[in-house]
Amino acid sequence: MVVQVQKSTYEAKTQEIARQLLAATQENRSFFGALRDQMRWDDKLLAWAMSNPGLRVQLFRFIDTLPALHSKPEIAAHLQEYLGDESVELPSALKGMLGFANPDSMPGQVAATTVGTAVETLAHKYISGENIKQVIKTVERLRKEKMAFTIDLLGEAVITEAEAQSYLERYLDLMQQLVQASKSWTPVPLIDEADGQPLPKVQVSVKLTAFYSQFDPLDAKGSEQRVSDRIRILLRRAKELGAAVHFDMEQYAYKDLTFSILKKLLMEEEFRTRTDIGMTIQAYLRDSEQDARELISWAKLRGYPITIRLVKGAYWDQETIKAEQKHWQQPVYNDKAATDANFETITQLLLENHQYVYAAIGSHNVRSQSLAIAIAESLNVPRRCFEMQVLYGMGDKLASSLVNRGYRVRVYCPYGELLPGMAYLIRRLLENTANSSFLRQNLENRPVEELIAPPVIKDTERENSPDSSPPPLPPSSFSGAADTDYAEEKERNVAAQAFQTVRQQLGKTYLPLVNGEYVNTQQIIDSLNPSNFSEVVGKVGLLSVEQAEQAMQAAKTAFPGWRKTPARQRAGILRKAADLMEQRRAELSAWIVLEVGKPVREADGEVSEAIDFCRYYADEMERLDQGYNYDIAGETNRYIYQPRGIAVVISPWNFPLAIATGMTVAALVAGNCTLLKPAETSSVITAKLTEILVEAGIPKGVFQYVPGKGSQVGAYLVNHPDTHVIAFTGSQEVGCRIYAEAAILKPDQKHMKRVIAEMGGKNAIIVDESADLDQAVVGAVQSAFGYSGQKCSACSRVIVLQPIYDTFVQRFVEATKSLNVGEAELPSTQVGPVIDANASDRIREYIEKGKAEAKVALEMPSPDKGYFIGPVIFKDVSPNAVIAQQEIFGPVVAVIRVKDFKEALEVANGTNYALTGGLYSRTPSHIEMAQEEFEVGNLYINRTITGAIVARQPFGGFKLSGVGSKAGGPDYLLQFLEPRTVTENIQRQGFAPIEGAD
């Protein structure tokens, strides 16, 4: 039977226990005492970080960089760069230390040694050892203090399958050695037994994502299978050894899949009776109470208890930033008090259901632990059914006082090399120095009543609850469409249903739209699925030149009416089109996947971009339509815009919906009649766009869908004397030809044609010596092989500094090797097909050239069924090699070695292109230099170089990468408009209207 007691019942007891615990934790405090000057450097750094927010940010950024710095001069130079900023107010002791003139000097070396040692000392406070020998020493000390432990293995992010296998093996070895050591340990009844039953002496904590490098909620089944295979091995070995295993929780995106995998696995007959296994719940998540209830129900069904570790949560900043960037609902509480209140609610829930789940209350907040004790004592919860947990190096006095009261305390002990453990250290330092941290408030001598008061939730938190709508945006702001969150099972089901719906429509015929009517054509071609070229996605009618002329005449006829249509009305049609796209998002994604072989998540992102173009350009046109007034006494001056006339849009196959939509709706909303000629291999998707624009209300003749041969219909429209604007995205060769032909004045042509051309790139990522290699490897892999390298922005050169070159290449190759190559429709696929046979042949020719010029570091196999080419990595490539200079447009990457950062920039700039570029660095001066000197239209620092977002990252380059303003930017529509100025003298016989007169 579940005992239900109102929370208020526990308050008096909670307060009483909290006062006793608090008194014990506050003895002999000197952290903020008068002896500050005698504090060690590691304590000083923490104290300064607490008192100065600006220094805190820069100091933690420096600590994050430290793992990449290999010499004292490097450390000294970075110290000055991070902490020598005039905007950061430094304590005099630190300022004096950083006053050296040269990083190589003796004072520079002293500064590097002092701060480096201080950070290492800090790390030792929170990391229980660098190797198993040290860890065993630590846990033996903890046992003498009557504390149990759980060991977590720190290290680099698991981004390769070799690393995932290594992670498993290291845990098997860790358990083996700990259990071996435990045989000589003296029994400690407080932690080794409960209610007369023995407890495992050894416990390890593991993360699911580390068991499979491609762990992804989108590929729930594949991830479950790969992860479960390794977990079974771990659990079987743990049982043989008598060790307990606890599963940690990570980022929100992995939560539901983590619970799903573990619930299924622990229901298997082999594991169902195990009670030495645990899961984790994070109280800062808004849906964590519901998760707790569901776990309790599941545990009842299972019939054997598991442990639930309740923690506040460690990724708050990361979760809030990601949700904001993705336009998703915040998964975490914004107010610390709301998290604390939720923690108390779940604590009560777990303890009231102690027959079904064991509670492990993980907190350094005296009130949180006191409430748990008050509930446990009030309900007479057996000692086996609950324990208290703290992190190693935090809450030591609280832990000791809990032990003294006779409670089982378990210390969470991360272990591993100090430098790879810096990410963990930064999280602990952020937690310790945050204004809302209980530990900090306790150190600052806040009143006892304040420290142990019940959490009070702010009204703003209630306003931001999941049940309430987000606050309305200001009228002028633009907010992008949210991508589908495939961590949600219902969204994955919607996507699967969309594929079924679309597959029922395969093979239909799509005809050109001329003057509002679909017209029959003499020639019809098949559009094939590049993942399986025996599958016809649709049949496309190709326009003849005569029909193209009819379309041009229809546009000329429609233009006078369309140019007079109010801008607000034109913008309204775009917004309606955006809404229709949002409604059909899953189906549009499916069409993109099947017609051009783009993997599911990337196809979804493309639909978001198309929606954003519609809404952003609608807003922009309404802004521009207001014009500008420059009035003076007696004279009005009005600056206004008018449409240019007829626009021909020639769209590419690699972003068949987004780029086609962007160029088309920009021309339309500006008042131009527009003819859209798509690439032949993606004409079905543009037929779907046509259906949407017609349904949204585009008048006859204003927009026309004119699929046809580029060499015939495309060339005819480009050269037509009635064409005013040509918007093109495609190859440099075709773009340059269009530019040249458009410059030739034809008979009866009374205007110069405007050409907007995006013509590709040879994009480079520079990996600096100070880069976060986990981040750089993952970013380079995604940038190079996302959509098989067929994005204009894809990375095709990685320029790496000599000291880290070999390490980078090794991890880059292993991470790429771990990618799944296969049909784009499969949720496990990261690398799909290339677009067609011509592309495949061209890319293979480049691969052969590469083999003659450089060394093959990796050439992956690929399926035979479609147009597949496995990723290829060349190393030791000369900057002047063909594969380092020419655009390949496929999954082929050249890795180039350089001696220093100056040479890296020279190599990056050494091509005819200037589209996108990336830099992975934690050296502020190098970041600043790249911002000034890296010749690219879009520079991305410490992130992937693909996936530009409308308004936030307008896209486009210069040199031979293109001509024109950046798509999705504030000046893009100006290219489709002619500016005019109207000046009127408003004087009559020496007088003029006076503004504001009665």
Active site residue ranges: 758, 792
Alpha helices, H only, 545-682:
545-564, 567-583, 585-596, 600-625, 658-669
Beta strands in 191-276 (DSSP E): 193-194, 197-198, 203-206, 244-247
Rg (CA), the chain: 32
Residues 811, 814, 817, 820, CA torsion sign:
negative
- CA end-to-end span of the chain, whole Å? 83
Q: Are 796 and 892 in contact (CB under 8 A)?
A: yes
Name the one residue in this structure whose structure tokens are 């719940």.
Answer: 281
**Cα separations (Å) of 930 from 771, 941, 961?**
14, 9, 19
Q: Are 961 and 760 in contact (CB under 8 A)?
A: yes
Q: Which of 275, 320, 337, 276 is nearest to 302 (CA)?
A: 275
Name the one residue in this structure whose structure tokens are 């775009």.
Answer: 574
**In whole angstroms, what is the distance from residue 937 CA to residue 913 CA?**
10
**In whole angstroms, what is the distance from residue 717 CA to residue 554 CA?**
13
DSSP output for 403-459: HHTT--EEEEEEES-TTTTHHHHHHHHHHHHSTT-HHHHHHTT--HHHHTSPP---H
The tokens for 158 are 């698991």
Q: Are 374 and 399 in contact (CB under 8 A)?
A: no
Alpha helices, H only, 626-763:
658-669, 683-696, 715-719, 732-742
Residues linked to residue 359 through DSSP beta bridges, in sequence order: 308, 386
**In whole angstroms, what is the distance from residue 45 CA to residue 509 CA?**
70
Residues 259, 265, 268, 274, CA torsion sign:
negative
* Strands, sheet with 635-643, edge to edge from the N-terminal-most edge strand: 628-629, 635-643, 977-985
**Cα separations (Å) of 742 from 715, 726, 791, 880?**
10, 8, 26, 33
Helices (H) then strands (E): counts for the chain: 35, 33
Q: Provide the residue count of the chain.
A: 998
Identify the three-state secondary structure at position 851.
helix
**In whole angstroms, what is the distance from residue 173 CA to residue 495 CA?**
42
HEC secondary structure over 821-854: ECCCCCCCCCECCCCCHHHHHHHHHHHHHHHHHC
**In whole angstroms, what is the distance from residue 840 CA to residue 832 CA?**
12
**In whole angstroms, what is the distance from residue 533 CA to residue 803 CA?**
45
The tokens for 309 are 């570790």
CB atoms within 10 A of CB 575: 15
Residues 202, 392, 320, 81, CA torsion sign:
negative
Q: Which of 344, 343, 280, 286 is nearest to 320 (CA)?
A: 286
**In whole angstroms, what is the distance from residue 599 CA to residue 278 CA?**
35
**In whole angstroms, what is the distance from residue 320 CA to residue 334 CA?**
8
